[in-house]
Amino acid sequence: MPEQPDLSVTLSGVTLKNPVIPASGTFGFGREFAGIYDLDILGSISLKGTTEAPRIGNPTPRIAETPSGMLNAVGLQNPGIDTVIGEELPAIAELFHGPLIANVCGFSVEEYARNAARFADCQQIAILEINISCPNLHCGGRNFGSSPETAAEVTRAVRASTSKPIYMKLSPNVGDIAAVARACEDAGADGLCLINTLLGMRIDLRSRRPVLANRTGGLSGPAVLPVALRMVWDVFEAVRIPIIGCGGVSNAHDALEMMMAGAAAVEVGAANLVDPLTCPRIIADMPRICREFGFDRIADATGAAH
């Protein structure tokens, strides 16, 4: 085995120096973390979810701690796509010089397509991560990823609007995530990202009211890792396109486990909020983990448990 294992991975023709990607919503646009470590050590960055118009998000409180995790109901707070393209992308280009992932959100099929098309001329954006966990305002508020049909509809619209690789970010709050994944693949997705947060809530015993102003929020953190692993496993068995695994990854062992389940790369979410140095620590530990478990190339770990 070579002294230094090869940590590079490839997603739809896009080469990352390693498989570690801060997840959308937990890293902003990188500015705060750039004051803590050199962002260029990362494989990529999934930028904050972007909608057409600016959003201030949901009312507070919108974050709550849970055993082995956290709930959030931030509500897609972001400055809107004009500001992201005009200000945030030039700023992050000074801080990170690798391929970026834009997280595209929308409240209609048409908005998804318009937003995806807007990123077409952004050279550093290498992959579009299409967040189909957004609420479908024309369908009673259910998210676009709640059924294979609506997931496929968004995929087809985005596919027609851009030539960049599109990775559909799937919601775990469905009965059969493999069916949704197959529908996205059949509709033209280049890859998938899973999982998004699990729906949960907490109650304040003194006020006898939900802790979150929104009542429910998305559960993330170590508590969701076993669920994410199971879903990545199931989807890997169901499709032929690459998967970015996300959900509960906190260390290099978790990352390798996610890859063995079927992920080609791994996003790190809530752990960044607990310890901002989580991603650098995972990357630094990966050569040791590769040697310990017999991988000359980290890419060979993808699906190794199947």
Q: Which residues are catalytic?
A: 134
Q: Which residue has the tokens 């120096």?
A: 17
Which residue type is seen at 63? I
> Closest by alpha carbon to 150, among 167, 128, 170, 129?
170
What span, in angstroms and rounded, lies between the C-alpha atoms of 116 and 203?
38
What span, in angstroms and rounded, lies between the C-alpha atoms of 171 and 72?
15
* Torsion, Cα of 52, 34, 14, 238 (10° steps): -70
**Helix, coil or strand: residue 210:** strand
First to last CA, the chain: 23
User: Which CA distances in Å does 30 have to 46, 53, 282?
Assistant: 10, 21, 18
Is residue 269 within 8 A of residue 15, CB to CB? The reply is no
Element (H, E) at 226: helix 225-238
What span, in angstroms and rounded, lies between the C-alpha atoms of 63 and 83?
25
Q: Identify the DSSP state of 294.
A: T
What span, in angstroms and rounded, lies between the C-alpha atoms of 58 and 63?
10
Distant-in-sequence, close-in-space partners of 277: CB < 8 Å, separation ≥ 6? 36, 37
Is residue 303 within 8 A of residue 262, CB to CB? The reply is yes
Structure-token pair, residue 49: 């979810």
Q: How many Cβ atoms from other residues are within 10 Å of residue 112's Cβ?
A: 28
What span, in angstroms and rounded, lies between the C-alpha atoms of 296 and 207?
55
